[in-house]
Structure 1
Amino acid sequence: MPSRVFLVQTLFVLTPPLRAEASAIATADSPEGVIFLVMAGFVVYMVQDSCKNMTMYCLFMLGLMASFQCFFDALALFSVLGGRETSVSSVQGTENNVTVITRITQHPFFDRSMGEQYNTQSAVLLASPLVMSLVASMCYLSYNAFSESLFEAEAGPIEGWGQAARYGASESVERTQPSPPRLFEGHGHRLSG
Protein backbone atom coordinates (compact mmCIF):
# COMPACT_ATOMS: atom_id res chain seq x y z
CA MET A 1 0.00 0.00 0.00
CA PRO A 2 1.39 3.46 -0.86
CA SER A 3 2.51 5.65 2.02
CA ARG A 4 0.77 8.78 3.25
CA VAL A 5 3.39 10.86 1.44
CA PHE A 6 1.91 9.69 -1.85
CA LEU A 7 -1.57 10.57 -0.56
CA VAL A 8 -0.44 14.15 0.07
CA GLN A 9 1.27 14.27 -3.31
CA THR A 10 -1.85 12.95 -5.01
CA LEU A 11 -4.02 15.56 -3.30
CA PHE A 12 -1.48 18.16 -4.40
CA VAL A 13 -1.92 16.90 -7.95
CA LEU A 14 -5.73 16.95 -7.65
CA THR A 15 -5.98 20.70 -7.01
CA PRO A 16 -4.51 22.03 -10.31
CA PRO A 17 -6.63 19.75 -12.55
CA LEU A 18 -9.80 20.91 -10.82
CA ARG A 19 -8.81 24.53 -11.32
CA ALA A 20 -7.79 23.88 -14.92
CA GLU A 21 -11.04 21.99 -15.54
CA ALA A 22 -13.07 24.93 -14.24
CA SER A 23 -11.03 27.27 -16.45
CA ALA A 24 -11.46 25.01 -19.48
CA ILE A 25 -15.23 24.93 -19.04
CA ALA A 26 -15.30 28.70 -18.43
CA THR A 27 -13.39 29.28 -21.67
CA ALA A 28 -15.80 27.10 -23.68
CA ASP A 29 -13.37 24.19 -24.15
CA SER A 30 -15.83 21.55 -22.99
CA PRO A 31 -14.06 18.41 -24.36
CA GLU A 32 -10.96 19.22 -22.35
CA GLY A 33 -13.16 20.01 -19.36
CA VAL A 34 -14.78 16.57 -19.61
CA ILE A 35 -11.37 14.87 -19.74
CA PHE A 36 -10.29 16.78 -16.64
CA LEU A 37 -13.51 15.79 -14.87
CA VAL A 38 -12.93 12.10 -15.65
CA MET A 39 -9.36 12.30 -14.43
CA ALA A 40 -10.36 14.20 -11.29
CA GLY A 41 -12.99 11.51 -10.68
CA PHE A 42 -10.25 8.86 -10.92
CA VAL A 43 -8.17 10.74 -8.34
CA VAL A 44 -11.11 11.22 -5.95
CA TYR A 45 -11.95 7.52 -6.23
CA MET A 46 -8.35 6.50 -5.57
CA VAL A 47 -7.74 8.66 -2.49
CA GLN A 48 -10.92 7.66 -0.64
CA ASP A 49 -10.41 5.87 2.71
CA SER A 50 -6.67 6.53 2.93
CA CYS A 51 -5.96 5.40 -0.63
CA LYS A 52 -7.80 2.10 -0.25
CA ASN A 53 -8.81 2.24 -3.91
CA MET A 54 -5.38 3.23 -5.21
CA THR A 55 -4.67 0.06 -7.11
CA MET A 56 -1.97 -0.44 -9.68
CA TYR A 57 -4.63 -0.69 -12.38
CA CYS A 58 -6.09 2.72 -11.49
CA LEU A 59 -2.66 4.32 -11.31
CA PHE A 60 -1.68 2.81 -14.65
CA MET A 61 -4.92 3.99 -16.31
CA LEU A 62 -4.70 7.51 -14.87
CA GLY A 63 -1.01 7.77 -15.79
CA LEU A 64 -1.73 6.59 -19.33
CA MET A 65 -4.58 9.09 -19.74
CA ALA A 66 -2.42 11.90 -18.35
CA SER A 67 0.48 11.01 -20.64
CA PHE A 68 -1.69 11.01 -23.77
CA GLN A 69 -3.39 14.25 -22.72
CA CYS A 70 0.01 15.84 -22.01
CA PHE A 71 1.22 14.88 -25.49
CA PHE A 72 -1.82 16.34 -27.27
CA ASP A 73 -1.89 19.45 -25.07
CA ALA A 74 1.81 20.03 -25.80
CA LEU A 75 1.08 19.78 -29.55
CA ALA A 76 -1.69 22.35 -29.18
CA LEU A 77 0.59 24.62 -27.15
CA PHE A 78 3.49 24.41 -29.62
CA SER A 79 1.17 25.24 -32.51
CA VAL A 80 0.17 28.59 -30.96
CA LEU A 81 3.33 29.70 -29.13
CA GLY A 82 4.16 32.24 -31.84
CA GLY A 83 0.73 33.82 -31.48
CA ARG A 84 -2.91 32.91 -31.74
CA GLU A 85 -5.27 33.69 -34.59
CA THR A 86 -8.84 34.88 -34.29
CA SER A 87 -11.26 34.99 -37.19
CA VAL A 88 -14.44 36.95 -37.78
CA SER A 89 -16.71 36.12 -40.73
CA SER A 90 -19.36 38.33 -42.27
CA VAL A 91 -21.86 37.57 -45.02
CA GLN A 92 -22.68 40.23 -47.61
CA GLY A 93 -24.62 40.29 -50.83
CA THR A 94 -27.98 39.51 -52.33
CA GLU A 95 -29.95 36.32 -52.85
CA ASN A 96 -28.12 35.50 -56.10
CA ASN A 97 -24.66 36.75 -55.14
CA VAL A 98 -23.37 35.96 -51.64
CA THR A 99 -19.93 36.96 -50.43
CA VAL A 100 -18.40 35.63 -47.22
CA ILE A 101 -15.57 37.73 -45.85
CA THR A 102 -13.37 36.15 -43.21
CA ARG A 103 -10.90 38.36 -41.40
CA ILE A 104 -8.05 36.53 -39.66
CA THR A 105 -6.05 38.48 -37.09
CA GLN A 106 -2.82 37.34 -35.43
CA HIS A 107 -2.48 38.18 -31.71
CA PRO A 108 0.29 37.55 -29.17
CA PHE A 109 -0.12 34.51 -26.91
CA PHE A 110 -1.20 36.81 -24.04
CA ASP A 111 -2.92 40.03 -25.13
CA ARG A 112 -4.68 42.38 -22.69
CA SER A 113 -6.72 43.95 -25.47
CA MET A 114 -8.40 40.58 -26.24
CA GLY A 115 -10.14 40.29 -22.89
CA GLU A 116 -10.24 37.89 -20.00
CA GLN A 117 -11.55 34.82 -21.87
CA TYR A 118 -8.74 34.95 -24.45
CA ASN A 119 -6.05 35.25 -21.78
CA THR A 120 -7.65 32.50 -19.67
CA GLN A 121 -7.59 30.22 -22.71
CA SER A 122 -3.90 31.04 -23.18
CA ALA A 123 -3.22 30.27 -19.52
CA VAL A 124 -5.06 26.94 -19.79
CA LEU A 125 -3.10 26.09 -22.96
CA LEU A 126 0.11 26.78 -21.06
CA ALA A 127 -0.84 25.06 -17.78
CA SER A 128 -2.48 21.94 -19.16
CA PRO A 129 0.66 20.10 -20.40
CA LEU A 130 2.46 21.00 -17.18
CA VAL A 131 -0.37 19.69 -15.01
CA MET A 132 -0.72 16.51 -17.08
CA SER A 133 3.02 15.81 -16.89
CA LEU A 134 2.82 16.32 -13.12
CA VAL A 135 -0.10 13.88 -12.87
CA ALA A 136 1.72 11.32 -15.03
CA SER A 137 4.87 11.68 -12.91
CA MET A 138 2.93 11.22 -9.67
CA CYS A 139 1.23 8.13 -11.10
CA TYR A 140 4.61 6.73 -12.09
CA LEU A 141 6.07 7.32 -8.62
CA SER A 142 3.01 5.89 -6.88
CA TYR A 143 2.96 2.88 -9.22
CA ASN A 144 6.61 2.15 -8.44
CA ALA A 145 5.90 2.35 -4.68
CA PHE A 146 4.11 -1.01 -4.91
CA SER A 147 6.28 -4.02 -4.14
CA GLU A 148 4.84 -6.24 -6.88
CA SER A 149 4.50 -5.54 -10.59
CA LEU A 150 1.35 -5.35 -12.68
CA PHE A 151 3.14 -6.96 -15.61
CA GLU A 152 5.03 -10.08 -14.64
CA ALA A 153 7.93 -11.45 -16.63
CA GLU A 154 7.24 -14.27 -19.07
CA ALA A 155 7.27 -17.52 -17.12
CA GLY A 156 7.56 -19.91 -20.04
CA PRO A 157 8.60 -20.19 -23.63
CA ILE A 158 6.82 -18.24 -26.32
CA GLU A 159 4.68 -19.73 -29.12
CA GLY A 160 4.72 -23.29 -27.86
CA TRP A 161 8.43 -23.97 -28.16
CA GLY A 162 9.18 -26.74 -25.68
CA GLN A 163 5.51 -27.20 -24.80
CA ALA A 164 3.39 -30.33 -25.03
CA ALA A 165 0.84 -30.76 -27.83
CA ARG A 166 -2.40 -28.80 -27.53
CA TYR A 167 -6.10 -29.62 -27.37
CA GLY A 168 -6.11 -33.32 -26.58
CA ALA A 169 -3.39 -34.45 -28.97
CA SER A 170 -0.79 -36.81 -27.63
CA GLU A 171 2.23 -35.31 -25.95
CA SER A 172 5.03 -34.74 -28.41
CA VAL A 173 8.76 -34.59 -28.06
CA GLU A 174 10.09 -31.08 -27.53
CA ARG A 175 10.80 -29.19 -30.72
CA THR A 176 14.16 -27.62 -31.15
CA GLN A 177 14.62 -24.24 -32.69
CA PRO A 178 16.44 -24.18 -36.02
CA SER A 179 19.98 -22.88 -35.82
CA PRO A 180 20.58 -19.45 -37.34
CA PRO A 181 22.44 -19.27 -40.67
CA ARG A 182 26.21 -19.10 -40.43
CA LEU A 183 27.29 -15.96 -42.22
CA PHE A 184 30.71 -15.27 -43.71
CA GLU A 185 31.89 -18.88 -43.46
CA GLY A 186 32.98 -21.18 -46.25
CA HIS A 187 35.39 -21.16 -49.17
CA GLY A 188 36.38 -18.05 -51.06
CA HIS A 189 35.86 -17.80 -54.83
CA ARG A 190 37.85 -15.65 -57.19
CA LEU A 191 35.67 -13.62 -59.56
CA SER A 192 38.18 -12.82 -62.30
CA GLY A 193 40.98 -14.89 -63.76
Structure 2
Amino acid sequence: MTGLRERKKQRTRDALIVAAHELFVTQGYDATTVDQIAEAVDVSQRTFFRYFSNKEEVALFVQDMVGTFFYEAIRASPPGEPPLECLRRTLDDIWDDVQGAVEEIVPFALHLKMCQVIETSPALLAAHLRHSLLMEEKLVQEIARRTGVDPATDPRPRVLVAAFSGVMRVAAREWSMRENTSLEVARTVTRDYLAQLGPALTADWGRRN
Protein backbone atom coordinates (compact mmCIF):
# COMPACT_ATOMS: atom_id res chain seq x y z
CA MET A 1 0.00 0.00 0.00
CA THR A 2 1.28 3.45 -0.92
CA GLY A 3 2.12 5.54 2.12
CA LEU A 4 0.71 8.98 2.85
CA ARG A 5 4.00 10.68 1.96
CA GLU A 6 4.21 8.91 -1.38
CA ARG A 7 0.60 9.77 -2.22
CA LYS A 8 1.27 13.41 -1.42
CA LYS A 9 4.34 13.39 -3.68
CA GLN A 10 2.32 11.80 -6.47
CA ARG A 11 -0.42 14.43 -6.12
CA THR A 12 2.17 17.20 -6.38
CA ARG A 13 3.76 15.56 -9.42
CA ASP A 14 0.40 15.13 -11.11
CA ALA A 15 -0.61 18.70 -10.33
CA LEU A 16 2.57 19.93 -11.98
CA ILE A 17 1.85 17.82 -15.05
CA VAL A 18 -1.72 19.12 -15.34
CA ALA A 19 -0.65 22.73 -14.83
CA ALA A 20 2.15 22.38 -17.38
CA HIS A 21 -0.13 20.80 -19.97
CA GLU A 22 -2.76 23.50 -19.50
CA LEU A 23 -0.15 26.21 -19.96
CA PHE A 24 1.39 24.51 -22.99
CA VAL A 25 -2.05 24.18 -24.59
CA THR A 26 -3.18 27.74 -23.88
CA GLN A 27 -0.01 29.74 -24.46
CA GLY A 28 2.38 27.39 -26.25
CA TYR A 29 5.34 25.27 -25.21
CA ASP A 30 8.06 27.80 -26.00
CA ALA A 31 6.26 30.62 -24.18
CA THR A 32 5.82 28.62 -20.99
CA THR A 33 8.46 28.75 -18.26
CA VAL A 34 9.22 26.48 -15.33
CA ASP A 35 8.44 29.40 -13.01
CA GLN A 36 4.94 29.71 -14.48
CA ILE A 37 4.30 26.00 -14.01
CA ALA A 38 5.48 26.09 -10.41
CA GLU A 39 3.46 29.24 -9.69
CA ALA A 40 0.29 27.61 -11.09
CA VAL A 41 0.62 24.85 -8.47
CA ASP A 42 1.76 27.28 -5.76
CA VAL A 43 5.12 25.56 -5.27
CA SER A 44 8.68 26.77 -5.64
CA GLN A 45 10.90 26.26 -8.66
CA ARG A 46 13.04 24.09 -6.41
CA THR A 47 10.04 21.82 -5.80
CA PHE A 48 9.45 21.53 -9.55
CA PHE A 49 13.00 20.32 -10.04
CA ARG A 50 12.53 17.63 -7.43
CA TYR A 51 10.12 15.97 -9.84
CA PHE A 52 11.32 16.97 -13.31
CA SER A 53 14.67 17.89 -14.82
CA ASN A 54 13.14 20.45 -17.20
CA LYS A 55 9.89 21.40 -18.91
CA GLU A 56 10.57 18.90 -21.72
CA GLU A 57 10.35 16.08 -19.21
CA VAL A 58 7.05 17.27 -17.78
CA ALA A 59 5.66 17.83 -21.26
CA LEU A 60 6.45 14.28 -22.38
CA PHE A 61 5.78 12.47 -19.11
CA VAL A 62 2.40 11.06 -20.15
CA GLN A 63 3.59 10.16 -23.64
CA ASP A 64 6.54 8.27 -22.18
CA MET A 65 4.26 6.54 -19.69
CA VAL A 66 2.02 5.33 -22.52
CA GLY A 67 5.04 3.98 -24.40
CA THR A 68 6.24 2.12 -21.31
CA PHE A 69 2.73 0.75 -20.75
CA PHE A 70 2.69 -0.67 -24.29
CA TYR A 71 6.17 -2.13 -23.96
CA GLU A 72 5.34 -3.88 -20.69
CA ALA A 73 2.17 -5.29 -22.25
CA ILE A 74 4.20 -6.68 -25.15
CA ARG A 75 6.57 -8.34 -22.69
CA ALA A 76 3.61 -9.94 -20.92
CA SER A 77 2.01 -11.23 -24.14
CA PRO A 78 1.84 -15.00 -24.63
CA PRO A 79 4.65 -16.51 -26.73
CA GLY A 80 4.26 -17.88 -30.22
CA GLU A 81 2.17 -15.06 -31.69
CA PRO A 82 3.42 -13.60 -35.01
CA PRO A 83 5.27 -10.36 -34.17
CA LEU A 84 3.12 -7.93 -36.17
CA GLU A 85 -0.08 -9.48 -34.87
CA CYS A 86 1.32 -9.26 -31.33
CA LEU A 87 1.97 -5.54 -31.73
CA ARG A 88 -1.45 -4.81 -33.20
CA ARG A 89 -3.45 -7.01 -30.84
CA THR A 90 -1.65 -5.73 -27.77
CA LEU A 91 -2.32 -2.13 -28.75
CA ASP A 92 -6.01 -2.89 -29.21
CA ASP A 93 -6.21 -4.86 -25.96
CA ILE A 94 -4.69 -2.16 -23.77
CA TRP A 95 -6.41 0.87 -25.30
CA ASP A 96 -8.97 1.25 -22.51
CA ASP A 97 -6.36 0.56 -19.83
CA VAL A 98 -4.11 3.24 -21.32
CA GLN A 99 -6.97 5.70 -21.20
CA GLY A 100 -7.53 4.88 -17.54
CA ALA A 101 -3.83 5.29 -16.73
CA VAL A 102 -3.72 8.66 -18.49
CA GLU A 103 -6.87 9.88 -16.76
CA GLU A 104 -5.37 9.10 -13.38
CA ILE A 105 -2.97 11.96 -14.13
CA VAL A 106 -4.63 14.34 -16.61
CA PRO A 107 -8.08 14.63 -18.21
CA PHE A 108 -7.99 12.70 -21.46
CA ALA A 109 -9.22 15.70 -23.45
CA LEU A 110 -6.21 17.65 -22.18
CA HIS A 111 -3.92 14.77 -23.17
CA LEU A 112 -5.32 14.85 -26.71
CA LYS A 113 -4.74 18.61 -26.92
CA MET A 114 -1.20 18.08 -25.66
CA CYS A 115 -0.64 15.71 -28.57
CA GLN A 116 -1.42 18.65 -30.87
CA VAL A 117 1.09 20.82 -29.00
CA ILE A 118 3.78 18.18 -29.48
CA GLU A 119 3.08 17.96 -33.21
CA THR A 120 3.24 21.73 -33.68
CA SER A 121 6.24 22.55 -31.45
CA PRO A 122 9.50 21.77 -33.31
CA ALA A 123 11.68 21.50 -30.21
CA LEU A 124 9.17 19.33 -28.38
CA LEU A 125 8.52 17.15 -31.43
CA ALA A 126 12.25 16.55 -31.81
CA ALA A 127 12.48 15.56 -28.15
CA HIS A 128 9.47 13.26 -28.51
CA LEU A 129 11.09 11.54 -31.48
CA ARG A 130 14.29 11.01 -29.46
CA HIS A 131 12.30 9.42 -26.68
CA SER A 132 10.42 7.28 -29.20
CA LEU A 133 13.65 5.97 -30.69
CA LEU A 134 14.76 4.76 -27.27
CA MET A 135 11.48 2.94 -26.78
CA GLU A 136 11.67 1.48 -30.28
CA GLU A 137 15.04 -0.03 -29.48
CA LYS A 138 13.54 -1.72 -26.43
CA LEU A 139 10.76 -3.11 -28.62
CA VAL A 140 13.34 -4.38 -31.12
CA GLN A 141 15.13 -6.28 -28.39
CA GLU A 142 11.86 -7.71 -27.07
CA ILE A 143 10.66 -8.84 -30.51
CA ALA A 144 14.07 -10.42 -31.10
CA ARG A 145 13.87 -12.23 -27.77
CA ARG A 146 10.37 -13.49 -28.46
CA THR A 147 11.29 -14.78 -31.92
CA GLY A 148 14.71 -16.15 -31.01
CA VAL A 149 16.66 -14.05 -33.50
CA ASP A 150 19.69 -11.81 -33.13
CA PRO A 151 18.91 -8.22 -34.22
CA ALA A 152 22.62 -7.66 -34.83
CA THR A 153 22.49 -10.11 -37.75
CA ASP A 154 18.77 -10.36 -38.55
CA PRO A 155 17.21 -7.02 -39.60
CA ARG A 156 13.59 -8.16 -39.33
CA PRO A 157 12.92 -6.97 -35.75
CA ARG A 158 14.19 -3.47 -36.61
CA VAL A 159 12.30 -3.36 -39.90
CA LEU A 160 9.08 -4.46 -38.22
CA VAL A 161 9.34 -2.03 -35.31
CA ALA A 162 10.32 0.82 -37.64
CA ALA A 163 7.32 0.15 -39.88
CA PHE A 164 4.91 -0.23 -36.96
CA SER A 165 6.20 2.88 -35.18
CA GLY A 166 6.14 4.89 -38.40
CA VAL A 167 2.49 4.03 -38.99
CA MET A 168 1.68 4.91 -35.38
CA ARG A 169 3.32 8.32 -35.79
CA VAL A 170 1.49 9.02 -39.05
CA ALA A 171 -1.82 7.98 -37.49
CA ALA A 172 -1.18 10.10 -34.39
CA ARG A 173 -0.42 13.14 -36.51
CA GLU A 174 -3.58 12.56 -38.52
CA TRP A 175 -5.98 12.28 -35.59
CA SER A 176 -4.27 14.79 -33.32
CA MET A 177 -4.52 17.59 -35.89
CA ARG A 178 -8.26 17.16 -36.44
CA GLU A 179 -10.64 19.70 -34.98
CA ASN A 180 -12.97 17.00 -33.65
CA THR A 181 -10.25 14.98 -31.96
CA SER A 182 -11.60 12.47 -29.47
CA LEU A 183 -10.60 9.12 -28.03
CA GLU A 184 -12.83 7.30 -30.49
CA VAL A 185 -11.39 9.23 -33.44
CA ALA A 186 -7.86 8.39 -32.26
CA ARG A 187 -8.71 4.73 -31.92
CA THR A 188 -10.48 4.49 -35.28
CA VAL A 189 -7.73 6.28 -37.22
CA THR A 190 -5.01 4.20 -35.56
CA ARG A 191 -6.83 0.94 -36.31
CA ASP A 192 -7.44 1.97 -39.93
CA TYR A 193 -3.83 2.94 -40.50
CA LEU A 194 -2.44 -0.22 -38.90
CA ALA A 195 -4.81 -2.32 -41.00
CA GLN A 196 -3.09 -0.91 -44.09
CA LEU A 197 0.41 -1.83 -42.96
CA GLY A 198 0.43 -5.37 -44.35
CA PRO A 199 -1.30 -4.55 -47.67
CA ALA A 200 0.91 -1.49 -48.22
CA LEU A 201 4.03 -3.64 -47.91
CA THR A 202 2.94 -6.78 -49.72
CA ALA A 203 -0.11 -6.26 -51.94
CA ASP A 204 -0.21 -5.24 -55.60
CA TRP A 205 -1.39 -1.66 -55.41
CA GLY A 206 -2.51 -1.44 -59.02
CA ARG A 207 -4.83 1.40 -59.92
CA ARG A 208 -7.91 2.34 -57.98
CA ASN A 209 -10.93 3.29 -60.05
Bin of the TM-score, shorter chain as denominator length = under 0.3
Rg larger in structure: 1
So what's the TM-score if we normalise by structure 1? 0.25
Q: TM-score, normalised by structure 2?
A: 0.24
Please state which structure has a larger fraction of its residues in helix: 2
